Structure 1
């Protein structure tokens, strides 16, 4: 595989010519990627640097995946306008387990060395932390864009946040990284790794950054917002979320996720093929076929899915439909009334306009609200 293939989609490869020098060493390189376990999901945006690690693995190099169980306790300040909340130990441990399962969707397990940075960071003495802190000045730290903005806005910056880049940099010392991968938002932290390695008498790592993949809403992907596609999300959910991509974003998604040009032809066909690729990579061909069939039936044709959640039909006759919709789908009763008035509610496929329906009409019926919400009402 050529250098061009290893660095596909890279934004920064620093220093210039450094990767070529590393490759000529004639031994497996140690290619590091650190992930803090701030949420339980690795989404397809976070998978972009994992794909670079897999490219190195396919060439015989070792992927060193560092689970940041210790640095998660500090919180990465990159791109933040405020200090991150600290997770409990149980949350961190649970997230770490799920992270590894998802990472192996992309990585070759046989060429992956999994490390937790608590192995070495928790063992540092005060004297060793002071030594580490001497490697980079505070003035250099405050050059960071996110810190500079917070200083200008007179917002607090904790000392623990200043320590974060040093802790991540020390990971590179501990595992003796040859290459470190990360998103463009990690550029400062990766460069700090080079400085700290040099201070500890090690050959500095080469750094390789990849672009951030924007969601279909044009924003950065976020598990809390839900505008992402986790690598182990249910197949139907993965397929449906992929289909939300605007046509204008197809080149970006195809290039970063599938690492190919957008297929020629209609945008809808390209979107469907990308959705198949994303689901197939995580779940295989059979699940992909089921997910597409579900999307076609529920979204494109407006029919009920094969499996519909069942709920008990409330007592009374007639039954007040807005109250049923509010309970079943988490709507307000005013939202439910508006949906009914707009013709957006069906009972067993028939549009209904009445707010109160005979009990026998709703007994054991499938109620559809909008395009994708379905419930079966069971008369007990």
Structure 2
């Protein structure tokens, strides 16, 4: 049996690392009688990233303090937030969020049986909730509604009505979830004070509001789902974690605007068990390994420049990978791989401005995806060609014409995983339009040709990328500028049969190297 926590111990756990608490007296009064009921909501839009460990570590604190915690997947709020995603996509993203957050909580040792997960539309479309929305509109001014959402809803000169409704819905959630307190970032403070003002006007009680500080991103600002370099994705590979942390803003001695230190403070130190500390591994000539048992000691050492930014980055990299490893493992299933692709599909058409500079040449411009051949048949007008139907996780399979009929049997093509170059300009081959090219290797005299090999763990639609290169592929490779021809000249297999562009390996999202039975030959 765990020892019963005192009121002060519970309150300390609930409030530690918070920037502000509104309703401290009420918090104390409730804890004298029973455990607190708290909810945290997240709009299911951008892909969750490591900054989500900040609220997750606080949720762990709440649970340690005996609180009842509800996590709200705010799908309706997400839809109203300037319609960042269409409704069918939001439904998929809600499923992704649930899987991701469960994996995160499991990663930090939070027992899921103590939590409740609720989807906003489970109750926000009810008659009672809808009537309360109308009641709110009869007492809330346009000025107050707009002011309340100023920090979290995109502000424009002529706002959509949906953005004005958003704060009221979030306020009503407190009543309909039957909680004592709402937890969120300090950027939601205006929504919280809006709720405190207007809920009593509907006859509902004022709630407690618990606010986390805003943690700087790796580039020094807010960690954002829309800024690739400012965040580490929950499914990023170890090499991507290393690459992003190398770019992280970590000025020597700067503790005021340091996302790495903030992450260590708000996440890692809150998760350490008694007797654990933050360990930095260093070479003996650099002082040897050192362990900080208190965050304040770590911060002081960095401020006095006794700790090098590179050593801090290396330690944070190790701890982040420990947190992400069980999440990567949880998502390494066909079901969750498919969900990831459907919820966050590859970028669509990009609106390029006339004065935008040309994309930098590099293999990141190639949209190479895992494809599964659903059907293969001989071209009606060419004995050397196959007509394939290839699944790349789009609404419909792609029709692809491939010159493999003399080298690979129809039986071998059926159900085969291939690497499909998806952003060539569609072209007609003997009257059939082809929307992609199966990447193959061939020997010098072209007597042997075969598709490059794809690991069985790969899932249709997954993008293959080259080690050390990131960026969005071209929507379509410009044939007049011969982009593919230039890049293809450096695309080959090495002496071990591994596919490389210059010296960079072609990898799956799990960092598996793509290979071929044929070595030292071009890929085309």
Taking structure 1 as the reference length, what is the TM-score of the superposition?
A: 0.70
5+ long unaligned stretches in structure 2: 1-8, 252-257, 270-293, 302-306, 330-417, 420-438, 446-464, 508-513
Equivalent residue in structure 1 for 2:77, among 71, 90, 106: 71
Q: What residue in structure 2 maps to residue 88 of structure 1?
A: 86
Report the more deviating stretch, 228-237 or 164-173.
228-237
Equivalent residue in structure 2 for 1:14, among 22, 38, 53: 22
Report the more deviating stretch, 121-130 or 370-379.
370-379
Which runs of structure 2 are paired with 1:11-90 in the superposition (5 Å)? 11-24=19-32, 26-39=33-46, 41-75=47-81, 84-90=82-88
Instruction: Report if aligned partners of 1:10, 1:209 keep a CA contact under 8 Å in 2.
Output: yes
**Cα 1:356–1:191, aligned 2, differ >3 Å: closer, same or farther?**
closer
Q: Number of aligned residue pairs: give it.
A: 323
Name the SS for the 2:35 alignment partner.
coil
Equivalent-residue separation in structure 1 for 2:14 and 2:444 (angstroms) = 66
2:247 matched to 1:244?
Answer: yes
Instruction: Report if aligned partners of 1:150, 1:156 keep a CA contact under 8 Å in 2.
Output: no
Q: What residue in structure 2 maps to residue 113 of structure 1?
A: 116
2:125 matched to 1:122?
Answer: yes
Taking structure 2 as the reference length, what is the TM-score of the superposition?
A: 0.52
Which runs of structure 2 are paired with 1:291-306 in the superposition (5 Å)? none
Equivalent-residue separation in structure 1 for 2:73 and 2:56 (angstroms) = 13
- Quote the RMSD (CA, aligned, Å): 4.1
**Cα 1:135–1:108, aligned 2, differ >3 Å: closer, same or farther?**
farther
Q: What residue in structure 1 maps to residue 264 of structure 2?
A: 254
Equivalent-residue separation in structure 2 for 1:222 and 1:173 (angstroms) = 30
Instruction: Report if aligned partners of 2:133, 2:169 keep a CA contact under 8 Å in 1.
Output: no
Report the more deviating stretch, 97-106 or 28-37.
97-106
Q: What residue in structure 2 maps to residue 178 of structure 1?
A: 180
2:233 matched to 1:230?
Answer: yes
5+ long unaligned stretches in structure 1: 76-83, 288-308, 318-326, 341-354
Structure 1 stretches (4+) deviating beyond 6 angstroms?
Answer: 314-317, 331-338, 355-363, 370-375
Instruction: Report if aligned partners of 1:15, 1:207 keep a CA contact under 8 Å in 2.
Output: yes
Structure showing greater radius of gyration is 2
Structure 1 residue 143, shift from structure 2 partner: 3.4
Instruction: Report if aligned partners of 1:179, 1:205 keep a CA contact under 8 Å in 2.
Output: yes
Name the SS for the 2:233 alignment partner.
coil
Which runs of structure 2 are paired with 1:160-199 in the superposition (5 Å)? 160-199=162-201
Structure 1 residue 270, shift from structure 2 partner: 2.4
Q: RCO (CA 8 Å, sep 6+): is it higher in 1 or 2?
A: 1
Equivalent residue in structure 1 for 2:11, among 3, 17, 28: 3
Name the SS for the 2:191 alignment partner.
helix
Structure 1 residue 176, shift from structure 2 partner: 1.7
Higher share in strand = 2
Which runs of structure 2 are paired with 1:349-364 in the superposition (5 Å)? 364=497
Name the SS for the 2:222 alignment partner.
coil
Instruction: Report if aligned partners of 1:70, 1:122 keep a CA contact under 8 Å in 2.
Output: no
**Cα 1:60–1:235, aligned 2, differ >3 Å: closer, same or farther?**
farther
